[in-house]
Copies of this chain bind each other. A is one copy, B any other.
Amino acid sequence: MRFLLTDEQSDLARTLASLLAASDVPGVARAWAAGDLAPGRALWARLAKAGLFALAVPEEHEGLGPLPVELAVAFVELGRYGVPGPLVETVAAAALLPAEHLPALAAGDLAATLTLPGGSPYALDPHAAALVLTVSAQGGLYAAPGHGEPLPSMDPARRLAVPAAGGALLATGVPTAEALRRARLLTAAQALGVGQALLERTVAYVKQRTQFGTPVGAFQAVKHRLADTLLALEFARPLVFGAAVTTADGDVAAAKLAAGGAAYRAARTALQLHGAVGYTQELELSLWLRKARPLRDAWGTPAQCRAEVLARYGEAGRTATARLTT
């Protein structure tokens, strides 16, 4: 029992962070939002080279994984830097796709998006994906033959469309639950990173912005609001990594609930404490501000996650959410 990132896991975070810091991700995201996918695809390739997608693919299919903790580490950074595209969806698809697709996915040559039965009818960014997947209630995996017109989200870096029904049957009896777990866990990790970015930027802003002759960050109301934001993020973080370790459905739902809520709270705080300047599209901050709420709901709204937490509570073999041990 040692609930701490290993040195290798911390190194992975640092490697990705420095790759992303050097990649003008805000520019990439703006281009993505404007429909120019080329910079995003170039970034995707660099992330693949750093091993991102390999983490989702078993070794026998030219991957390194699946390594949920490493994936969670990576997705926190992806959220923190605001990387656009169906990243979560591609990693979730790795749990479903037949073996022949996996080497390409691991290498970053296969962007996928998907819907799952019982979830949202929309697939994220199908115009940017080589494969748009749907899964039938019986566990049949289909390559959708197309999709509806992508609709703009309030996050301009996201577009949503309903995949067309039918298409080629790629596999049967696919592990839908595992795909949902991955999508939910990594969306939680991404949301945590988004919340962290919002908090970091807001803290920096209130230290520097003065009103009435004082840094705004010296006002107790501002301090306490930021303290609460940190609190929510810091108690979501162990849930995200705990869920990555146990991969228990209840833990994953708890992580999603907490991280999504903390990110949205961070967005509200960031907006309020930046004042009017935070309300503009121009400020880089808006990249994260507009992402928080969609991520809070994607792959499990708060209500869905709460229901899941209680449905799984006390499940055989996992005392409590799961309680750590028995």
- A residues contacting B by CB (< 8 A) are 219-221, 224
Contact = CB atoms under 8 A, between A and B. Distances in A.
5 contacts: A219-B220, A220-B220, A220-B221, A221-B221, A221-B224
A221 B221 CA distance: 6
Give the oligomeric copy count.
2
Nearest to A220: B220
A105 B221 CA distance: 52
A26 to B, nearest CB: 34
Contacts of A220: 219-221
A219 B220 CA distance: 7
Contacts of A224: 221
Contacts of A221: 220-221, 224
Nearest to A219: B220
A186 to B, nearest CB: 36
A318 to B, nearest CB: 31
A219 B224 CA distance: 12
A203 to B, nearest CB: 18
Nearest to A221: B220
A146 to B, nearest CB: 42
A224 B221 CA distance: 8
Nearest to A218: B220
A228 to B, nearest CB: 11
A16 B224 CA distance: 41
A224 B224 CA distance: 11
Nearest to A224: B221
A219 B219 CA distance: 9
A219 B223 CA distance: 12
Nearest to A222: B220
A194 to B, nearest CB: 27
A220 B216 CA distance: 13
A113 to B, nearest CB: 38
A227 to B, nearest CB: 10
